[in-house]
């Protein structure tokens, strides 16, 4: 059985849609958990109003970051100049805003973390899809493997 390039492209696009949908569903919970995690590290109990702000920020993260991710993943593979994890990393602004408005002190970070992620004073930047939600781990790997397949399939074969 031969799989055509069109089939590969269709499957790649479907994987992108699945990943974007899963991210949209996972980000609201991630934002809330990160706000609570930082508060817990400082021994603070979250006020109901702060929990409401975290929920609202989570919903906004799901919508806005999900939309950005969909736009990226809808692009033809060679036009994708960044990757989904980079888009997700930008979502740290949502819990960061909640924590800043609440007056939570920034965490101590080393120079490398500050240089790599200057807009992340609470050290929230995820290192993997699984840090957003374990359910994203496998889907992120499968999407990455599919992208690698698409890129390699377009290269001329060496003799």
Alpha helices in the chain (DSSP H): 5-41, 48-74, 84-89, 93-101, 111-116, 129-132, 134-154
All structural domains of the chain with their residue ranges = 8-153
pLDDT in tens, 58-93: 999 999 999 999 999 999 888 899 999 999 999 999
pLDDT in tens, 15-56: 999 999 999 999 999 999 999 999 999 999 999 999 999 999
Distances (CA, A) of 45 to 39, 53, 54, 102, 140: 7, 14, 13, 12, 34
User: Comparing C-alpha atoms, which of 63, 127, 69, 139 is closest to residue 94?
Assistant: 63
Whole-number pLDDT of residue 2: 40
pLDDT band per the 50, 70, 90 thresholds, residue 8: confident
Average pLDDT over residues 128-139: 95
Whole-number pLDDT of residue 7: 82
Whole-number pLDDT of residue 62: 96
Q: Please give the residue that has the higher pLDDT: either 158 or 21.
A: 21
pLDDT band per the 50, 70, 90 thresholds, residue 153: confident
pLDDT at 142 over 70: yes
Average pLDDT, the chain: 91
Whole-number pLDDT of residue 110: 94
CB 58 within 8 A of CB 34: no
């Amino acid at each position: 059985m031969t799989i055509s390039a069109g089939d590969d492209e269709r499957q790649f696009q479907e994987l992108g849609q699945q990943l974007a949908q899963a991210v949209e569903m996972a980000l609201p919970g991630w934002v809330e958990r990160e706000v609570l995690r930082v508060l817990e590290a400082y021994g603070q109990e979250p006020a109901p109003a702060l929990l409401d702000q975290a929920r609202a920020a989570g919903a906004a993260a799901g919508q806005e970051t999900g939309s950005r991710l969909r736009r990226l993943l809808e692009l033809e593979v060679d036009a994708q100049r960044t990757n989904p994890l980079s888009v997700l990393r930008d979502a740290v602004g949502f819990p960061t805003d909640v924590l800043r408005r609440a007056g939570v002190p920034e965490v101590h970070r080393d120079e490398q973390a500050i240089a790599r992620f200057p807009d992340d004073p609470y050290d929230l930047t995820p290192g993997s899809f699984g840090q957003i939600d374990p359910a994203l781990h496998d889907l992120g790997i499968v999407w990455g493997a599919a992208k690698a397949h698409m890129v390699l399939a377009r290269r001329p074969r060496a003799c």
